[in-house]
Structure 1
Amino acid sequence: MALERTHPGTSARTGVVWEVLSAGLAERSARTGSGELAVVDLGGGTGGFAVPLARLGHRVTVVDPSPDALAALERRAAEAGVSERVRAVQGDLGGVLDAVDAECADAVLCHGVLEVADDPAEGMSAAGRVLRPGGIASVLAANRDALVVARALGGNVAGALAALREPVRRRFTEDALVELVRQAGLAVASRHGVRLFADLVPSAEPDDPDLLALEVLTAGRPEFRALATQVHVLAARPE
């Protein structure tokens, strides 16, 4: 299947997450013997990941607090011909178990929602309870360490020091994010840095294939991922 330009796998900003997630879903499919998995996308908005996943044959439920975003999701799914595989549900991370059943999903996406959660630990725990045993979680959050670098490079040295010395609301170090995932009862399988060069190079085009290749090749290396704008963790609920 050809990838459209808006597909997350074609962009340097999302390509790493798509590659890791796709591999995790393929492994889950092999274990379950089913090419159709149940996916819950928390805060999935207009369907940037949900619609491509539905096109792969999965059933995706998007839980999002914005009715406008969900309406756009439904239009996008209709245009892609996958409306029967995409379900839009209004809700948020804290109340996800009011929106979907516990242990209903083979995979849960938790991308960019911990930053806006009232209680990130509680939210991550709720996301973990959505998974069936053996299911996988794709967790993406803003990286505090990258903020330190960005502030310093922007000339705000005092702000960089402040971000380094004290916890920054709505941003996580890699270790802090991994600890949240583990506290939710999930086992960490891999961790990656996302949007390092895509954000650091001012003239970079997100769909430049060389830039995407650079992001993918450096994402798993600790000396690079500490500087990335976001941290991505792939985890699994024990069988």
Structure 2
Amino acid sequence: MTDRTGVSATTGSGSGAGWATGPARAAGAARTAVVWDALSQLLEGLADDGPLEIVDAGGGTGGAAVPLAELGHRVTVVEPSPDSLAALERRAAEQGVTVRGVQGETRDLASLFAPGSADLVLVHNVLEYVEDPVAALRDVVGITREGGAVSLLVTNAAAGALHRALAGHIAEARRLLGDPDGRWGEADPMPRRFTRQQLLELVDGAGLTGGSVRGVRVFADLVPGHAWEGDAQAGQHLVELERSAAEHPELTGIATQLHAIAHRP
């Protein structure tokens, strides 16, 4: 099954991150380093009293959950696919950690967890697929403790139009920009894409605060694969380029994904 977490266990990170890997995996890290860097800083701020209670909503096969468990946190993946949960169990066993897997969707969170019981909830590439993103995010906030955090990763509508245009589908790129759900047509496999403003409005509407948005995969999906895949040094250069791009808000518009960390006041 495809893991829609948007991050993977092969991800490298900045100083102080316990999931950093060797340079041989640097190429894969180019697509995910920015997210892990942000999570690394967040974990340092939240984990003053020991291991965190983390819920990965729609966490797939554990691409994010297993590395977080390796850091000593208590992680639960809520995932509708039994095949993905089975793969999660295998991945966790291979890494020698325990990750709880529960079959369910965002609308089930209130029945699976006590209110305010999670220190951190990951919602990575999930809001594109739910029927009602606003309701889904409110369900997430309901299980997040006061002072806790929500990590949101969504597909960027503006970048979707850019990629369609670069592929030669000019009319579809124009339709995507004019569509409220950020889709280029009926055959579009992505149910929904978000603009930066739509993501900020979701955060605000859910009662969360501090949702600054950073771009993820600004260059990684534009640079031809032959230029860096399989070349550890070139891959590491791309990782550093992605990190630099994240510090330039003007580049957020062309990033494949948008990442926001918001807090429950």
Q: TM-score, normalised by structure 1?
A: 0.91
SS of equivalent residue, structure 1 residue 226: helix
CA distance 1:9–1:35, shift in 2 (3 Å): farther
Q: Deviations over 1:162-181 (max 9, x none)?
A: 11122124100011011111
Between 202-211 and 165-174, the greater mean CA deviation after superposition = 202-211
1:192 to 214, 218, 222: 214
- Superposition pairs for residues 60-209 of structure 1, below 5 Å? 60-83=75-98, 86-167=99-180, 168=182, 169-203=191-225, 204-205=228-229, 208-209=235-236
Inter-partner Cα distance in structure 2 for 1:77 and 1:197? 31
Work out the percentage of aligned pairs sharing the same amino acid: 48
Match of 2:63 in 1: 48
> 2:185 aligns to what?
none
CA contact (8 A) 1:188 1:236 kept: yes
- 8 A contact 1:7–1:48 mirrored in 2: no
Residues 70 and 9 of structure 1: is their aligned pair in 2 closer, same or farther, counting only changes over 3 Å? Answer: farther
SS of residue in 2 equivalent to 1:114: coil
SS in 2 for 1:146: helix
8 Å Cα contact 1:93-1:126 kept in structure 2: yes
Shift of 1:7: 8.2
- C-alpha distance in structure 2 between counterparts of 1:16 and 1:9, whole Å: 13
Letter in 1 for 2:242: E
Paired AA for residue 253 in structure 2: A
Q: CA deviation at 1:94?
A: 2.2
Contact 2:19–2:67 at 8 Å: present in 1 too? no
Q: Deviations over 1:149-192 (max 9, x none)?
A: 11111111111111112212410001101111111110024211
* Distance change (3 Å), C-alpha of 1:230 and 1:146: same
Going from structure 1 to structure 2, the CA distance change for 1:36 and 1:7 (only over 3 Å counts) comes to farther
SS at match of 2:210: strand
**TM-score under structure 2 length normalisation:** 0.83
Say if 2:26 and 2:239, in contact at 8 Å, map to a contact too: no
Which shifted more, 65-74 or 158-167? 158-167
How many residues were matched structurally?
233
Aligned partner of 1:20 among 38, 45, 51: 38
Distance 1:188 1:148 in 2: 28
RMSD: 2.0
Cα displacement string for residues 96-151 of structure 1 (whole angstroms, at most 9, x for unaligned residues): 22222221110000000000001011001111111100001110000000011111
Is the 8 Å Cα contact of residues 8 and 14 (structure 1) preserved in structure 2?
no
Q: Is there any run of 5+ residues in structure 2 with no aligned partner, and where?
A: 1-17, 183-190
SS in 2 for 1:45: coil
Q: Take 1:125 and 1:8, find their aligned partners in 2: how far apart are those partners?
A: 36
